[in-house]
Structure 1
Amino acid sequence: MSKKPVTTRSGRFFKLAGMTASVAGQYAGQRARRLFRSEEDNEGARSESYTRMADRIADTLGEMKGAVMKVGQIASQTQDFLPKEFSDALQRLQKEAPPMPFEVIVGQIENELGKPVSELFDYLQEQPYAAASIGQVHRARLKDGTDVIIKVQYPGVDESCDSDLKQLRMALKLGGLLKLPKEHVDQLFGEIRVRLKEELDYENEARNLALFQDFHKNDKWIVIPQVFSSHSSRRVLTMELVEGDHISKVTPEKYSQDSINLIGHRIFTMMADQLFRYQCIHGDPHAGNFAYRPDGTIILYDFGCVKKLKPEIIEAYRKALVSALEEDYAALDRHLIDLGARVESQPAVDEAYYAMWRDILIKPFEGDTPYNFAESELHKDVAAKTTTVFKYLDYFKPPIESIFIDRMIAGHYWMMKRLGVQAAFRQELEEYLRKTPG
């Protein structure tokens, strides 16, 4: 039997407060027991305790939906500020969320659009098309016969955003899970709050859809749905139904390797154009937000999380990439400071440390030979070296301005891997790095 969703502010507060108290209690108990154990036993016990705390937090967030679940999803993709056990548990939140009852969805549509559903639509499908962290999508048909999808925000999510974030931050702090100085945590949660506030405003998303349609107006291979403003509001967004194959349906029976490779090149072009030309990126690149067609068409969904980037951040990022490719590690160190990723007051980082990471991350860009993403173990190579980060913990900080660039690149890497793309991107990358924006 599924649990009843929490939709009131007080209900959310008490649910999160209970989670916080449980996590704090576990952490205090773990610290007390640590006094009587060997270092080796402590390490195993700490990992076990983190896993228990992380499971409790992930389970609660998954049930809660809304801002805290969204933060959990972001945290699972930006693993540099939480222990591995916690990031692993949060990966579960990337899976599709359980749906909200249909009567709740109907009530929200009628409250927002001011008319009964029967007057607004020819039909509204009860079974959700998709369920996510802050909203649910249903198929419908307008009175003129147009097939649409309706994105409906869960009730109470936007009003609870600030208190949800405070409770989550407290749980992470009391659980000893936040490993950053307070000012970095302030910056990180500040950035997440701004993005969430934007994502909770569907009128803002409608503007983002129009913006990206303009960006990609000459890219006939990119399809972005049209919005029906007559049937949309701050918490309801009605768009044309544009269908393609989910990544799980991109199979050899339907897609040739050439077609998959073409999609891979187009994903790279789309990502690089958004980053270097438009300085504005689609900030939520997971599999559910993209669909494909055998002719190489890419369909983009969900423009709630869009990050406009400062020109100086793009320039620092570009220069950092150029320095890494050229193995100029002194220059790379300077550009990472400009990017906000390196603590300026600390001495220069050992060049061998930068060389180690460069040698791992350059693999898809090493030459003109196509890189087989299906067989890529890049993520494993990165994971194997994460312990080296502790040596330089005081030298680096999460680059708040570019955290969504990293999220975008990681998301697209996983898409390329799941698609099985075989492509060489070095020449294309160098062309973008040579160009000036605009």
Structure 2
Amino acid sequence: MKEQSNIPTGKVERAGKFVTTGLKVGTNYIKHYTRKLMDPSISKEELHQDNAADIYNTLSNLKGSALKVAQMLSMDKGMLPKAYSEKFAMSQYSAPPLSGPLVVNTFVKTLGKTPSQLFDKFNMHASNAASIGQVHKAEKNGKQLAVKIQYPGVASSVKSDLRIVKPFAMRIVGMNEVDMDKYFEEIETKLLEETDYKLELRRSMDLSAACAHIPGLLFPGYYPEYSSDRIITMDWLNGLHLKEFLQTNPSQEIRNKVGQALWDFYQFQVHKLRQVHADPHPGNFLMQPDGSVGIFDFGCVKVIPEDFYVNYFQLVDKEVLKDTARRHQIYINLEMLHPNDTPQEIAFFSELFQHMIDLMTLPFTLETFDFGNDSYFNEVYAYMDELYNMKEVRESKVARGSSHSLYINRTYFGLYSILSDLKANIITGQHRIQQLVEGHQPE
């Protein structure tokens, strides 16, 4: 893949790239509707493909927050047209990498030495490149290392990038600005944390140690002495990303082991630690032939407030939800309903939320769950599509749902998506979660 010799870091220069892309998207719409006048049978798929390619090319060269938003959107199956989700998913593994001189410059500026002065071996060509940084392979004292290097200008451009990318996100997703503002503040906070590599290093070491006892998980060791505010050095983990792993045609037993390890990893964090690795895209996991999973990249961690946790997981308790008044109060506490809603709005949105909750919490209410059940996911995606197209939902004047739910929902959607791809049949019930929380070895 062609390397980048520079990244636009100035606000004006970055904004200019977006303006140019906006003009291209506008031209694509004109071309599409001109063709449709000549041939009414032409679908919007070609338009989506053209727009997705133009937007992704801009975002992948700008890196940073803009590309991260595309990555997040790609994980939410059912939210985007297929052309966008497929193109944006490339940001999980294969954005264009930085050239060698920029890499060396980052080392000299932050650690005072070049890579060749710090390591016995250092591969100047990135092994993979994503939205915030890229990874290089290195060697020191016989140990294979992974060195993550943050792109220049990422931290300083978060706020301006999000202001610029918001109209694109609104147009692609079809949401009103009122729906987006509330959540973009949460996204901005998390993206600023992701650019703080010293914070990520601490969280990586702490959460890896806290979860090390869970069966089937592997974590790299970390090296603060070879890390800085823009560099993180850790052990190199071998393994395969999900797509490559599935191409090896693993047995159902191995798929189940991978799925169980991931399920346990997330439930322990949420229910015991009250903080969670909130970036569950496949690029952050390396599958092993024996069914264990290597986990890294704790840049995006969501700390879960206690009051939000209590209300959110009461939605799993069917007895609680039988009490209409209590259920409505939980919806209000989670900002799904609002005190000034009319009786008609309360009835309408309560019914919508209840059906979605019944679908999404189903694995928690059963002792085991088969994530290979296509009919379950077809029902989930069909209902999401139905919600997306409801006039009452799209024209709602208030954003529904706490900002805390953004990354928690994203975490569970990402986890479910991976388990679906694995077609894993695993233990999901409350007894298993309780064992994890109490520190007992799961049965």
Compared CA separation, residues 170 and 331, structure 1 to 2 (3 A): same
2:189 counterpart SS class:
helix
Given the alignment of the two structures, is residue 19 of structure 1 paired with residue 21 of structure 2, yes or no?
A: yes
1:205 counterpart SS class:
helix
TM-score, normalised by the number of residues in structure 2: 0.81
Taking the TM superposition and a 5 Å limit, the aligned residue runs for 1:386-425 are: 386-389=384-387, 390-393=390-393, 394=396, 397-425=400-428
Unaligned runs of 5+ in 1: none
2:155 counterpart SS class:
coil
User: Matches of 2:287 and 2:43 in 1, distance apart?
Assistant: 45
Aligned-partner residue type, residue 70 of structure 1: K
1:155 counterpart SS class:
coil
Unaligned runs of 5+ in 2: 439-443
Compared CA separation, residues 340 and 79, structure 1 to 2 (3 A): farther
Worse overlay, 213-222 or 249-258? 249-258
Aligned-partner residue type, residue 164 of structure 2: Q
* Superposed displacement of residue 225, structure 1: 1.7
* Superposed displacement of residue 266, structure 1: 2.5
Taking the TM superposition and a 5 Å limit, the aligned residue runs for 1:52-71 are: 53-71=51-69
Compared CA separation, residues 322 and 64, structure 1 to 2 (3 A): same
Taking the TM superposition and a 5 Å limit, the aligned residue runs for 1:32-431 are: 53-78=51-76, 90-142=88-140, 144-172=141-169, 179-182=175-178, 184-219=179-214, 221-250=216-245, 256-323=251-318, 331-346=326-341, 347-350=345-348, 352-354=351-353, 356-358=355-357, 360-365=359-364, 367-368=366-367, 370-389=368-387, 390-393=390-393, 394=396, 397-428=400-431, 431=434
Aligned-partner residue type, residue 292 of structure 1: M
Worse overlay, 314-323 or 259-268? 259-268
* Superposed displacement of residue 170, structure 1: 4.3
* Superposed displacement of residue 198, structure 1: 0.8
Compared CA separation, residues 163 and 25, structure 1 to 2 (3 A): farther
User: Matches of 2:411 and 2:43 in 1, distance apart?
Assistant: 35
* Superposed displacement of residue 337, structure 1: 2.2
Compared CA separation, residues 330 and 4, structure 1 to 2 (3 A): same
User: Matches of 1:304 and 1:360 in 2, distance apart?
Assistant: 30
* Superposed displacement of residue 4, structure 1: 4.5
* Superposed displacement of residue 189, structure 1: 1.3
Number of positions where the alignment pairs a residue of Structure 1 with one of Structure 2: 424
Cα RMSD of the aligned pairs, angstroms, is 3.7
User: Matches of 2:61 and 2:369 in 1, distance apart?
Assistant: 40
Compared CA separation, residues 212 and 16, structure 1 to 2 (3 A): same
2:135 counterpart SS class:
strand
2:347 counterpart SS class:
coil
1:385 counterpart SS class:
helix
User: Matches of 1:245 and 1:408 in 2, distance apart?
Assistant: 21
CA contact (8 A) 1:283 1:407 kept: yes
Aligned-partner residue type, residue 268 of structure 1: W
CA contact (8 A) 1:147 1:240 kept: yes
User: Matches of 2:392 and 2:362 in 1, distance apart?
Assistant: 24
2:316 counterpart SS class:
helix
User: Matches of 1:378 and 1:407 in 2, distance apart?
Assistant: 18
Worse overlay, 226-235 or 96-105? 96-105
* Superposed displacement of residue 9, structure 1: 2.2
Aligned-partner residue type, residue 62 of structure 1: S
CA contact (8 A) 2:71 2:88 kept: yes
2:317 counterpart SS class:
helix
CA contact (8 A) 1:323 1:331 kept: no
Between the aligned residues of both structures, percent identity stands at 27
Compared CA separation, residues 337 and 75, structure 1 to 2 (3 A): farther
TM-score, normalised by the number of residues in structure 1: 0.82
Compared CA separation, residues 283 and 323, structure 1 to 2 (3 A): same
CA contact (8 A) 2:145 2:233 kept: yes
2:125 counterpart SS class:
coil
User: Matches of 1:90 and 1:246 in 2, distance apart?
Assistant: 17
CA contact (8 A) 1:272 1:432 kept: no
CA contact (8 A) 2:78 2:381 kept: no
User: Matches of 2:404 and 2:63 in 1, distance apart?
Assistant: 26
Compared CA separation, residues 110 and 46, structure 1 to 2 (3 A): same
1:75 counterpart SS class:
helix
* Superposed displacement of residue 148, structure 1: 0.9
* Superposed displacement of residue 273, structure 1: 1.2
Aligned-partner residue type, residue 331 of structure 2: L
User: Matches of 1:149 and 1:26 in 2, distance apart?
Assistant: 41
CA contact (8 A) 2:74 2:88 kept: yes
* Superposed displacement of residue 433, structure 1: 12
